[in-house]
Every structure is written in C-alpha cells, then in structure tokens.
Amino acid sequence: MQAHIEEVFNSIQGEGTHAGTRQVFVRFQQCQLHCQYCDTPRSRQVTYSCRIEKIPATGDFHTVKNPVSRDYLIETIQKLWSPSTRHISLTGGEPLIQADFIRELNAEHPLYLETNSGFPDEARKLKDVIAVASCDIKLPEHDSTRHYDDLLKNELETIAIFNESAETFVKIVVLPETTKGSLSSAVNGIASIDRNIPLILQPVTSDRRIHAGKLFELMDFAGEKLKDVRVIPQTHKMMGLL
C-alpha cells in the first residue's frame, strides 16, 4: 500500500499528556476540516512530494515522491529512531483518512495517533493497533466545518471507540473568544463517555493572548464534570521545534 505523506522527522512531542516525549512524526496529507488556527495548512492538500529528515532531529531534509510505500516508510522510521524515541506519531493533516495504510504498517514501535476525531468508521479499523490516541474536539468558534453538530457527534463516537482499547485523551484548542457556553457540549459529551478521560485545554498559539483568568474559569467549568483537566500550551513552539 501507499500513502500521501507531507513529512517524516524526529522531534519532541509538544502537546498533550505526552509533551516532552521523543517521537518519530509521520505527517499525513489531506484534512476534511479548515480550522481558523491551523498551523499545518500545507498538509491539508495532496502534493507529489514528501520531505524526509536525513538524520534524526537535525532539520535537514531531502525530498521523495508521493505516494510513499509502506516498506519505504518503515525503513525511514528505523533510520530516524533514536535511543530516547518512544512512539511513532501519526499526525497531519488527518491521518484517519489513510487508516487502511496505517492498519497495514505493522510497525515494531508503539503508534501515537493525533486525530481530529472526525471519522469513527476509520477509527474502528485502527482501535486494536493504536497505543495512544490524542483526540481533538473542535469548538464552534474554530470555524472548522459548516456541519458542527455532525462533527461533534463523530468526534465523540471516535473518542468512545479509542477509549475502549487505547490510552486516550482529548485536546481542545482554546481561543480568546472561547466561553463556558461554547465548551459545554464538548465537556458534557466527554463526561457521558468516561469522566476519567483527561481533557487538555490548549491555549491557541498566536499574538492574541488569552487571559489567565479565562483559563482558570474554563478549567473549573470542565472540572465540575471531568476528573483530569489540564492546561498545556504547545511546548514545541516555545522551543522553536517542528
């Protein structure tokens, strides 16, 4: 099998409950959404080239043709592995669009999935091969889709699927305009699946500063329903990493 991939590199996971963990990142192309804060807009399109880091964590890349074969990707991951590396991060774009390829990867290292959670049928195909699932829930103000209710329903179904078999947490990007009201459907939805699922509130990385008081207020609001609520910003951006 083959897949359209944007880039493969070794770096430090900067988001969520595994922030600080070394990973080989496989960034897939294509995404069905258009979030206003998207920091990887190039990966939303299919292109005919993919960039591959030559030596782990050097930022020195060469280009190969898309689509990339399963065997070539596995060989690349092995070359980019390092002693402190712990997971293969499947990110995007939206990796679940290429779930059949991921299912056939059969990699010897644990798979860490970063998904917008929009494809529960594809998630079902992968539930027994994913070790860690980082599942986004989008908010109405993210402007990710014109069909928000459908997206939220799919996101919650995806989270429930992964929560049965993988270490699962939810990540929600907080914008300056986010309110308790815009967060409530997401929080209630997570609580209806499992109150123990960690919720990471991630302040958007931008010039638009979010007041600390807002974060405390949103944490306490979510904490009334969920047992593990944390605020974690994008730490890789602070370090100037990919």
Which of 185, 173, 101, 174 is CA-nearest to residue 135?
A: 173
Token pair recorded at residue 149: 């209710």
Binding residue for ligand SF4 (CB under 6 A) from 38, 193, 241, 242?
A: 38
Tell whether residue 170 is a contact of ligand SF4 (CB under 6 A): no
Binding residue for ligand SF4 (CB under 6 A) from 2, 34, 188, 192?
A: 34
Binding residue for ligand SF4 (CB under 6 A) from 116, 145, 178, 234?
A: 116
**Residue 225: what are its φ and ψ, rounded to 5°?**
-110, -30
Burial per residue of 26-52, b for 16 or more beta-carbon CB atoms within 10 angstroms, e otherwise? bbbbbbebebeeeeeeebbeeeeebeb
Mask of contacts with ligand SF4, 94-113, x by CB under 6 A?
x-------------------
What lies within 8 Å, CB to CB, of 86 at 6+ separation is 21, 22, 23, 109, 110
**Which range in 28-36, 75-83, 154-162, 205-213 contacts ligand SF4 by CB under 6 A?**
28-36
Number of residues this chain uses to bind ligand SF4 (CB under 6 A): 12
Burial class (CB in 10 A: 0-12, 13-18, 19+), 60: exposed
The least CB distance from residue 43 to ligand SF4, in Å, is: 6
Tell whether residue 40 is a contact of ligand SF4 (CB under 6 A): yes
Tell whether residue 117 is a contact of ligand SF4 (CB under 6 A): no
**Rounded Cα–Cα distance for residues 32 and 223 (Å):** 31
The least CB distance from residue 217 to ligand SF4, in Å, is: 24
Residues interacting with ligand SF4, by CB under 6 A? 31, 33-35, 38, 40, 44, 92-94, 116, 144
